Chains A and B, each alone.
Chain A
Amino acid sequence: NAGVMQNPRHLVRRRGQEARLRCSPMKGHSHVYWYRQLPEEGLKFMVYLQKENIIDESGMPKERFSAEFPKEGPSILRIQQVVRGDSAAYFCASSPPSRGGDEQFFGPGTRLTVL
């Protein structure tokens, strides 16, 4: 059973470009979470999705950021018009249909660098 997969692992963008980060959850997992880790900081929650639904986006910046988890295919975190402050590691996690406190399994992350 493959773990959570994220691609690309490293992404370089210039200011004003778009960044698309992909996350394939573990097989059988229907919950996806995105977290951002700024340099020298802990992870901060961004958004929680189930298939075709955004459940909690309380951690998403109001502008330029969006996320989706379509019926088919990976979850996508999209950042439009990137700025230097968006440089961070973005982690995706997945969990199975809730049975009570299931752990979240983390992917290796995408490290975004904005020049």
Chain B
Amino acid sequence: AQSVTQPDIHITVSEGASLELRCNYSYGATPYLFWYVQSPGQGLQLLLKYFSGDTLVQGIKGFEAEFKRSQSSFNLRKPSVHWSDAAEYFCAVGKAAGNKLTFGGGTRVLVKP
């Protein structure tokens, strides 16, 4: 069965500093990988996705993620965070198109001024 682990429950970062959120997945074949962001009381917004091809994926809001098959990881990065990036971030894996997503437990990001 597929699974997703986000080792960091909370991360606090200063505004303007870089951010990296870790995601490890377990799946037998090449997965479909996603990062979503959830603001308090809101639904989820897709930041980026990886299906195949270039392992460095660019997303919205200045985020990027790198797929590393050897490490079963799909870490999310942003070079310089803004106060508006404070939210909860979820990594998810799917098997194929039109298939259910398995989510990690989420990482809550706090941004210090």
> Which residues of B line the A interface, CB within 8 A?
4, 6, 32, 34, 36, 42-46, 49, 51, 90, 92, 94, 96-106
- The answer to the question of A101 belonging to the interface, with a C-beta cut-off of 8 Å to chain B, is yes
The 8 closest A-B pairs by CB, nearest first: A42-B103, A98-B98, A98-B97, A45-B100, A106-B44, A106-B43, A108-B43, A101-B51
Contact of A109 among B34, B43, B99 (CB under 8 A): B43
Listed A/B pairs (19) with beta-carbon separation below 8 Å = A35-B101, A42-B106, A45-B100, A55-B98, A56-B100, A91-B44, A95-B98, A98-B97, A98-B98, A99-B97, A101-B49, A101-B96, A101-B97, A103-B34, A103-B46, A104-B101, A106-B43, A109-B42, A109-B43
Chain A residues with a Cβ under 8 A of chain B: 4, 31, 33, 35, 41-45, 48, 55-56, 58-59, 91, 93, 95, 98-109
Q: Give the distance in Å from the alpha carbon of A104 to the alpha carbon of B93 in the complex.
A: 12
Closest to B49 in A: A103
Q: Give the residue name and chain of the B residue nearest to A105 (CB).
A: B46
User: CB-nearest residue of chain A relative to B97?
Assistant: A98
Q: How far is the CA of A58 from the CA of B51 in the complex (A)?
A: 24
CB pair A101–B44 under 8 Å, yes or no, is no
Q: Are A108 and B103 in contact (CB under 8 A)?
A: no
Contacts of B51 on A, CB cut-off 8 Å?
100-101
A115 to B103, CA, bound (A): 28
What chain A residues lie within 8 Å of B44 (beta carbons)?
43, 91, 93, 106
Q: Is the CB of A43 within 8 A of B100?
A: no
Is B97's CB under 8 angstroms from A42's CB? no
